[in-house]
Structure 1
Amino acid sequence: MSDAVSRFLHSWTRLHPDLDLSTMAAVGRVLRLAALMNNITEDGLADTEVTRPEFEVLAALRRSPDGLRPRQLTRETIASGAATTKRLTRLEAAGLITRTPLERDRREIQVRLTDRGSALADTLFADQLDREAAVLAPLTTDERAQLASLLSRVLTPIDRA
């Protein structure tokens, strides 16, 4: 049994036997896993009141008890400013967040979860952990730790957040 990336590698090897495809073997699988995990998450959130990107905003705010500014949320969620604004507007209308002007500079706002937003974030986070555990079920606990460590070594030098 092979994964899609194995099939892609096989095709590219036939087309370009002179190229080193080892990066594609790793990065291709990371990208495909991320895309498939996004789909799994979206499916898991289908019966909730939030989308996957909105869940990412709720999760970022839940990790930050003092709240975050929109610019910080944009960095945390790797989104555009416009996308962040749209998500915040939707989450505020749903009663899951508040946006409060800062006292020292009223042009800036602080975004915080409401009690309902915190409760929803906690529930959705627990469900997300279950989905992730199911995806990683083929790995032992030690293999999960090794994978996490290797990915951290690759991600750390390029992750500006």
Structure 2
Amino acid sequence: MTTPEAPDLVDRIQQEWERAYPGLDVGPIGVLGRIHHIAAVSSHRLDRHLEPHGVSRSEYDVLSALARSDRALRASEVVSTTMLSGASITKITESLSRRGLLERRRSERDGRVVLLEPTDAGRRLVDAELPRRLADDERALAGLTPDERQTLAALLRKVAVAVGGP
């Protein structure tokens, strides 16, 4: 027999909403509240680890997208593989370029196209940070079996499709 987990912050918030609005089904808070909480804690940890590098989470996302690609990418391709807008990609890539973490160059085939790729320094930053980030993620999931992880990923994929977005 398993014992129920101890109540958490989301349980408390959900109970408060139930008391304040007894006629409403506040059940979705139990799922989406936890997703939001996990994302916020994870993002905060990443921010703390990136701070010594002088890089924001958005800048790290851009460098990561470029580091995992097998070729230089157009800005529009970086937009499609991150959750950032085209305007922010332009601002971020200009900043990363000025700091020597990213190279912006014109396409040889079409001079109107700017291609982006990490410099050696940008790649070293990703190389240094990715293992630490994955270790943090592993600690967060350590209490789940491989089957539970697979089930959770499948369920969250369904939620992600339902909310849509970019």
What TM-score results when the alignment is normalised by the length of structure 2?
0.86
CA distance, structure 2, for counterparts of residue 32 and residue 139 of structure 1? 18
1:58–1:113 CA contact under 8 A, matched in 2: yes
What's 2:101 paired with?
96
Match of 2:41 among 31, 36, 41: 36
What TM-score results when the alignment is normalised by the length of structure 1?
0.88
Query: One-letter code of the match for 1:6?
Result: D
Question: How many equivalent pairs are there?
Answer: 161
Query: One-letter code of the match for 1:15?
Result: A
Q: Does 2:15 correspond to 1:10?
A: yes
Deviations 1:87-127 (A, max 9, x none): 11121122221111123332221111122322321221111
Gaps of 5+ in 1: none
Distance 1:156 1:63, change over 3 A: farther
What's 2:3 paired with?
none
RMSD of the TM alignment (CA)? 1.9
Name the % identity.
Answer: 35
CA distance, structure 2, for counterparts of residue 38 and residue 99 of structure 1? 27
Greater relative contact order structure (CA < 8 Å, 6+ sep): 1
What's 1:49 paired with?
54
CA distance, structure 1, for counterparts of residue 147 and residue 45 of structure 2? 24
1:41–1:131 CA contact under 8 A, matched in 2: no
Gaps of 5+ in 2: 1-5
